[in-house]
Amino acid sequence: MKILCDTHVLLWYLQGERQHFSPLTQDVLLDETNELYFSTASMWEIAIKHSLSKPDFS
């Protein structure tokens, strides 16, 4: 299955913060038969938030 993840999913996934995900979401993300995709817009959003000193996206 192809899965497009949003920015928070990208950040939490990369930081290993699995407590943010439901058990089903964890299963989907960790299933190696799935293809995870992240938008280039997520990189842009992270860069903007970082430049505004808002790494927690608040």
If phi > 0 it is left, if psi is from -120 to 50 it is alpha, else beta; for residue 16 that is left
Report the amino acid identity of residue 39: S
Residue from 30, 21, 22, 23 nearest 1 by CA: 30
Pairing of strands 2-5, 35-38: parallel
Q: Give residues with Cβ within 8 angstroms of 2, minimum separation 6.
A: 34, 35, 37
Confirm whether pTM is higher than 0.75: no
| Tens-digit pLDDT profile for residues 13-55 | 888 898 999 999 999 999 999 999 999 999 898 888 888 887 6
At 11 the pLDDT is 87
